[in-house]
Chains A and B, each alone.
Chain A
Amino acid sequence: MPLIEWTPELEIGINVIDGQHRRIVDYINDLDEAQKADDRDEIGRVIEDLVDYTYSHFEFEEALMEEAGYDALSIHQSTHLAFRERVDELKNRFVAGENVAGDLNELLQTWLIRHIMNDDQSYAGLVRQKMPRIEKQEGGNWISGAIRKFFS
């Protein structure tokens, strides 16, 4: 039984972001399993992977918000930064040998999930509106142009 079940309320309607959030939820569940098994090596590995993945996700998300002209971008960025500082601190305490399971679970389950459900929902509409999937146009693009030029 996973700690967090993925539910439609967690979806923000941008597939690539939903996929990233889903992966983060998977990592939180993996971490929970490793903690239950009291497997310190595995806990360390999952923390590393989870942190790396989350940072990469923040980078992606901030680029989207910036491009869409989201007016609360700087607030959202400082929220990401605060999360990074908190998670780095917990990671360091873990490496120093401390048991950070409780604090980490609280940060991930309450903060991160709430962040997805509230803060991320609030930029999603604008991104969907400003950055729709562009309909494909016949020809007129640089690769086909270059092919015609060099290979025909």
Chain B
Amino acid sequence: MRRLASSLGLPVASLVVAGLVFGLFILAVGRSPLDVYALIWRGGFGSGFAWQSTFSRAAPIILTALAVAIPARMGLIQIGGEGALALGGLAASLAGIALSGAGSPLAAKSLMLVAAMFVGGLWIAAIGALKYYRGVNETISSLLLAYIAIALFNHLVEGPFKDPGSLNKPSTLPLDAAHMIGAIPGLDVHWGLAAGILFCLVAHAVLKHTRHGFAVDTIGAGPRVALLAGLPVGRTIVAGCFAGGAAAGLAGGFEVAAVHGTANASLIAGYGYTGILVAFVARHEPVAIVPVAFLFGGIGAASGLLQRRLNLPDATVLVLQGVAFLVILAADPVAEMVRNRLRSAPA
């Protein structure tokens, strides 16, 4: 229990500091930080309706955060989740169109999600393979692949697979109503949330209790050691990246099959980038991702309220995320400094 408290203490403290630094920024641009905090609370966490919106946003964030966290545990900092999400969503949409009119909705839904996971998984697995077999820096290649994925997505959605009826916003053909994934009973939040939490629990179990998880953490500690220990380093890296990419692809799959009903530019909403931050705040622990995703999902949900009530630009949330990211990274060394001070201070 004490260990849990001390491992929670630092992230919570740094989030509080991030909130304060962000408050200073709001003060500097001539607004009241208290108003902003109050609106974030109201828009993200203050009511049942707010929580619904928070949960719906948290679902893709949980999954894109996993796409960062699993490779990061092997020492690969990949940040291309946005691209895997877009292509996963497109794959789900195309599978849905191909299965249009198919008799079994359950089979159609499952196939759409499997297609999304498969495509997202391949996209991120390629990053792992390039890293292991060619030594290509994964951070750069992942962002390049994200740009390529989004270009490919736009090309296909506005070209070969465009629904001729979608004039203002180029989209693929809409899914059959019967093939849309519904809400979790009693919550009014789509099943992507449950899938995300389940994915985190499974990832936690695999990482903590199987030899695959042992291989992942050993590679994270140093690939040379892992090679000497006879672990299948290349296979583990590619498979781990595939799992992460499958999570990001699944996020896109749910956005299509449960939210939009079609693949269009609404999919590219920055969930992949929020996922990077969430994974780092959660220190790449799958289970810790869930509450952190609720927090940042809620902040995102409050964004509209901030714009309407205080006339703040939509980039306000981006500033808060950037500040939080910097503070989280500074937290470790600062905490160590404080600890050393306390230790050397006379009792």
Query: Does A pair with B?
Result: no
Give me the interface of A with B, judged by CB distance under 8 Å: none
